[in-house]
């Protein structure tokens, strides 16, 4: 019943979406606002409809309807209730419904805004949003149906369809296979929704951009209207990536948080173009330049978002041939090609109209530096994109698969990241339009001197690795420049208004949240960079098999193997849990419990590290192997990860900065900066 | 004459461009090979895990995609690591061991495609694209600058202007 309801409602939602597209286009053709208004209501209706469908799946998941293929594959009787609910996005078909639900929520939210000033954009925004939604709904309904039941053929084989095929019997197992144990971590529960939220919220700026291109309203209006959408999208994408990193660190058991896995890169690519867009869009707002480029960036972000979903959902990553065999692979490919082609054709049609209003006067002006920033982000994007698709091309052309792994990405993107750090150091000090070496020099010399003090300190501390020295010096430079910017602003306000320094700082940031939110984000990046350099350059590891009471040494740490217990748990796990004592410089610092959980239902092991975490470093222990019966010997792998916690701390600061920048202003409209008048107007 | 000089400039730019692309590809992407001396056969039990992992960390088994061999927990990967230990005990070098696995399972076992034949593209395209991008950005900047009249020489200093601008903005929002 619930399955039929959910599936039926999905079909109705698809029809409503198609109606919305048709009504909007018809309204445009006939110049009849009635039809456009009707399309608006259709778009508004999609959210409650998909909510019913999503709730139907959740009901089926929670009540254990294992005759439903999706429910069988992602839940089991022993799973706690909250995991049964979050299993909605634990499998492909459910996650696509969840994607549609979020998309419809954002599309509905857009319909509720005041459209009086932007009436002509509305029909096209509706069309773009609903075309995207309809595409995903079609995937769910026709190819990845989460409501499909299982039926058993006479041969014992199982098939999944909505209705009973001839010659089959209903198949209703008493228990399911359970959620992939790797997905039971809190980080993994929140990580997919965050990424999806990021993905779907980028549809809105894209829809406005397309509407602007079609209607010819190519001024800054579409950017002003979508500024907060872009920031919110970027916030969620960033949050999703950070949570994904934390999940990998806690669950995957390889001592790191980022493995340059194609699935990670799939989510990272829209973030790269989104970040470039957030910077580049400022040039358009302040100077009326780069209008074409901003259009291209928002189109790229949208299509990379679809491409990311395609990469992870089509099976193309395991083999280019599985892409050809999968039903949704070619469809995704066609959709991406279509949207990219149509969007770019629209940009070329408005090419002349999108000409810059102003000219640049200085190679050190802020617009120039933002342009270089965009170049670097695009450079990283090219490395990522090419690294992900090259194995597929290689398989297609030479019939041989190759692996493009972390060493390639690290070497290729490392210099680009360092260059970006350097830009973060000087760009805040450069002004719009005109900046000279002298003016930058005057502003930067104090932070630079402070950063050289840090560099000297690092050298005295014995650090000699060139990469680490360069990276740490740059992070210090960015930190000092950013703090100096806060200081200069607060001091100016204190002197002119007589406010205390903390109050001046607070009011300063409050009055220009975008600028100072951006600076807070930069500080977050600095902290994250500190952690990344720590683990990339200074990580050490060792592995060894030791007897009970034996020890392993890594740097100034010693770990002794105290005991190991093996037991079954109520939720169908077999747990092997070791107890080890950790000593630092001969001093006892704590007991850790690295363990290996074996999930009987899914027959999957999961390695959970024992970690001693401080701001200085992590001592990270993995239980690799042990003697099954006597437990007299066990193999441990230990990592020393210096500064890694600064990645997570930096992540918090990063997200806080984004919230500051995106926080609504009292007037309900995005904050408008006055047009630059002076020769050296700052952001 | 002007056309000649333009052509020569273009030629020079093209040459620089190719040179830089080649240089970037060669320096950034291609790892130097480290040859190791052959050692006599020893008991595999004496080969430390760290020596095995040093090789395994740059390898992937064909089944466990995206999980480096040194940290993969499957039985198959465990056996691969033991094979590496065995080959090390036989005195094989890192290159020889990797070559053995490549021969058995193809290039995909390596963390990076070997820089030969079609694989060169993976190393050449990103720096090539970056240099093209940099060239375009440079051209765009130049064209913008060329079309702009010279700025007044008596520009205000950055600090004066900063304070003045900040005050203006804050005044508007007060």
The phi and psi torsions of A557 (rounded to 5 degrees) equal -105, 145
pTM as predicted: 0.86
Instruction: Residue B111: name the closest of A391, A554, A229 by CA.
Output: A391
For residue range A496-511, list pLDDT tens digits in order: 877 888 888 888 888 8
Report the C-alpha gap between A339 and A302 in whole angstroms: 9
Q: Does B137 sit within 8 Å of A405, measured CB to CB?
A: no
pLDDT value at position B66? 75
For residue range A399-452, list pLDDT tens digits in order: 888 899 899 999 999 999 999 999 998 888 877 766 677 778 887 889 999 999
Write down the H helix ranges in A248-365: 262-287, 291-313, 320-325, 328-349
From chain A, the residues in CB contact with B121 under 8 A are 390, 393
Q: What rounded mean pLDDT belongs to chain A?
A: 87
Residues 23 through 52 of chain B touching chain A, CB cutoff 8 Å: 28-29, 31, 48-50
Q: Does B117 sit within 8 Å of A361, measured CB to CB?
A: no
Q: Are A626 and A564 in contact (CB under 8 A)?
A: yes
Q: Which helix (H) or strand (E) holds A59?
A: helix A33-62
- Of chain A, the percentage scoring pLDDT greater than 90 comes to 52
Half-sphere exposure at residue A375, Cβ-oriented, CA atoms within 13 angstroms: 23
Binned at pLDDT 50, 70 and 90, residue A679 comes out as very low
Instruction: Residue A148: name the closest of A159, A157, A133, A134 by CA.
Output: A159
Considering only residues A278 and B168, tell me which one the structure prediction assigns the higher pLDDT. A278
Report the C-alpha gap between B5 and A667 in whole angstroms: 58
pLDDT value at position A121? 87
Residues with Cβ within 8 Å of residue B17, at least 6 apart in sequence: B131, B132, B135
- Of chain A, the percentage scoring pLDDT greater than 70 comes to 94
Q: Which helix (H) or strand (E) holds A624?
A: strand A617-626
Q: Does A371 sit within 8 Å of B137, measured CB to CB?
A: yes
Considering only residues A11 and B105, tell me which one the structure prediction assigns the higher pLDDT. A11
Mind telling me how many Å the CA of A184 is from chain B's nearest CA? Answer: 18
Report the C-alpha gap between A124 and A15 in whole angstroms: 18
DSSP designation for A580: E
For residue range A349-392, list pLDDT tens digits in order: 988 887 777 666 677 788 888 889 999 999 999 999 999 999 88
Burial class for A546, CB neighbours closer than 10 Å (0-12, 13-18, 19+): middle
Report the C-alpha gap between A340 and A299 in whole angstroms: 7
The complex scores an ipTM of: 0.81
Q: Which residue does chain B place closest to A674, by CA atoms? A: B169
Nearest-by-Cβ selection for B170 from A378, A511, A605: A511
b or e along A90-116 (b: 16 or more beta carbons within 10 Å of the residue's beta carbon)? Answer: bbbbbbbbbbbbbbbbbbbebbeeebe
Binned at pLDDT 50, 70 and 90, residue B19 comes out as low
Mean pLDDT throughout A295-324? 79
């Amino acid at each position: 019943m619930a399955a039929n309801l959910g599936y039926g409602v999905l079909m109705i939602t698809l029809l409503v979406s198609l109606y919305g597209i048709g009504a909007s286009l018809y309204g445009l053709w006939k110049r009849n606002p009635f039809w456009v208004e009707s399309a608006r209501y259709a778009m508004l209706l999609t959210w409650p409809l998909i909510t019913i469908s999503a709730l139907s799946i959740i009901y089926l998941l929670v009540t254990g309807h294992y005759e439903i293929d999706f429910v069988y594959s992602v839940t089991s009787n022993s799973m706690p209730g909250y995991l049964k609910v979050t299993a909605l996005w634990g499998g492909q078909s459910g996650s696509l419904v969840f994607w549609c639900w979020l998309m419809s929520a954002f599309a509905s939210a857009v319909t509720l805004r005041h459209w009086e000033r932007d009436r002509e954009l509305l029909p096209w925004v509706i069309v773009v949003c609903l075309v995207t939604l309809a595409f995903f709904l079609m995937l769910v309904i026709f190819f990845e149906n989460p409501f499909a039941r299982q039926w058993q053929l006479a041969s014992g084989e199982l098939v999944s369809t909505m209705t009973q095929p001839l010659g089959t019997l209903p198949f209703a197992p008493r228990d399911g296979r359970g959620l992939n144990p790797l997905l039971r971590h809190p980080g993994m529960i929140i990580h997919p929704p965050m990424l999806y939220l990021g993905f779907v919220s980028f549809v809105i700026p894209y829809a406005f951009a397309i509407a602007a291109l079609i209607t010819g309203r190519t001024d800054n209006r579409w950017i002003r209207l979508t500024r907060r959408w872009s920031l919110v999208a970027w916030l969620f994408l960033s949050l999703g990536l950070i949570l994904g990193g934390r999940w990998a660190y806690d669950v995957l058991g390889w001592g790191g948080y980022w493995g340059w896995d194609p699935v990670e890169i799939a989510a990272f690519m829209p973030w790269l173009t989104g970040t470039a867009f957030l910077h580049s869009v400022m040039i358009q707002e302040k100077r009326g330049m780069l209008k074409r480029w901003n259009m291209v960036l928002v189109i790229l972000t949208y299509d990379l978002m679809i491409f990311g979903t395609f990469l992870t959902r089509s099976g193309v990553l395991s083999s280019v041939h599985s892409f050809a065999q999968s039903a949704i692979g070619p469809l995704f490919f066609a959709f991406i090609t279509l949207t990219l082609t149509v969007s770019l054709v629209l940009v070329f049609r408005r090419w002349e109209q999108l000409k810059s209003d102003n000219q640049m006067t200085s190679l050190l002006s802020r617009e120039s530096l933002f342009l270089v920033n965009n170049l670097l982000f695009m450079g990283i994007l090219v490395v990522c994109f090419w690294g992900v698709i090259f194995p597929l091309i290689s398989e297609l052309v030479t019939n041989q698969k190759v692996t493009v792994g972390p060493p390639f990405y690290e070497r290729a993107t490392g210099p680009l990241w360092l260059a970006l750090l350097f830009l973060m150091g000087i760009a805040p000090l450069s002004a719009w339009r005109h900046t000279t070496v002298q003016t930058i020099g005057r502003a930067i010399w104090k932070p630079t001197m402070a950063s050289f003090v840090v560099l000297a300190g690092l050298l005295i501390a014995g650090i000699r690795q060139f990469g680490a020295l360069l990276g740490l010096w740059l992070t210090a430079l960015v930190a000092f420049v950013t703090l100096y910017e806060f200081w200069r602003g607060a001091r100016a306000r204190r002197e002119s208004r007589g406010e205390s320094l903390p109050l001046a700082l607070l009011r300063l940031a409050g009055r220009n949240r975008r600028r100072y939110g951006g600076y807070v984000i930069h500080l977050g990046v600095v902290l994250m960079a500190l952690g990344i350099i720590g683990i990339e350059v200074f990580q050490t590891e060792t592995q060894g098999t030791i007897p009970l009471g034996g020890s392993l040494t890594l740097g100034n740490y010693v770990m002794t193997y105290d005991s190991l217990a093996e037991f079954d748990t109520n939720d169908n796990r077999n747990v092997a849990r070791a107890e080890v004592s950790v000593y630092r410089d001969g001093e006892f610092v704590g007991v850790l419990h690295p363990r290996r959980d074996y999930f009987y239902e899914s027959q999957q092991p999961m390695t959970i590290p024992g970690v001693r975490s401080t701001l200085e470093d992590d001592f990270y222990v993995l239980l690799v192997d042990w003697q099954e019966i006597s437990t007299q010997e066990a193999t441990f792998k230990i990592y020393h990860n210096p500064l890694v916690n600064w990645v997570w701390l930096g992540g918090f600061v990063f997200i806080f900065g984004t919230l500051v920048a995106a926080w609504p202003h009292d007037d309900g409209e995005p904050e408008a900066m006055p047009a630059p008048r002076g020769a050296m107007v700052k952001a | 004459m002007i056309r000649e000089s333009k052509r020569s400039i273009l030629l020079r730019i093209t040459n620089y461009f190719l040179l830089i692309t080649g240089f970037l590809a060669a320096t950034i992407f291609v790892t130097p090979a480290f040859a190791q001396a052959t050692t006599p056969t020893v008991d595999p039990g004496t080969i430390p895990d760290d020596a095995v992992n040093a090789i395994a960390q740059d390898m992937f088994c064909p089944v466990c995609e995206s999980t480096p061999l040194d940290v993969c927990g499957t039985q198959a990967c465990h056996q691969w690591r033991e094979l590496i230990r065995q080959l090390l005990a036989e005195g094989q070098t890192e290159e020889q061991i990797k070559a053995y696995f490549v021969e058995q399972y193809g290039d995909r076992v390596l963390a990076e495609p070997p820089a030969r034949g079609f694989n060169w593209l993976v190393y050449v395209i990103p720096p090539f694209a970056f240099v093209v991008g940099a060239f375009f950005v440079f051209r765009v900047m130049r064209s913008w600058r060329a079309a702009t009249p010279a700025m007044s020489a008596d520009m205000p200093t950055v600090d004066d202007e900063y304070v003045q601008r900040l005050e203006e903005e804050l005044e508007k929002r007060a």
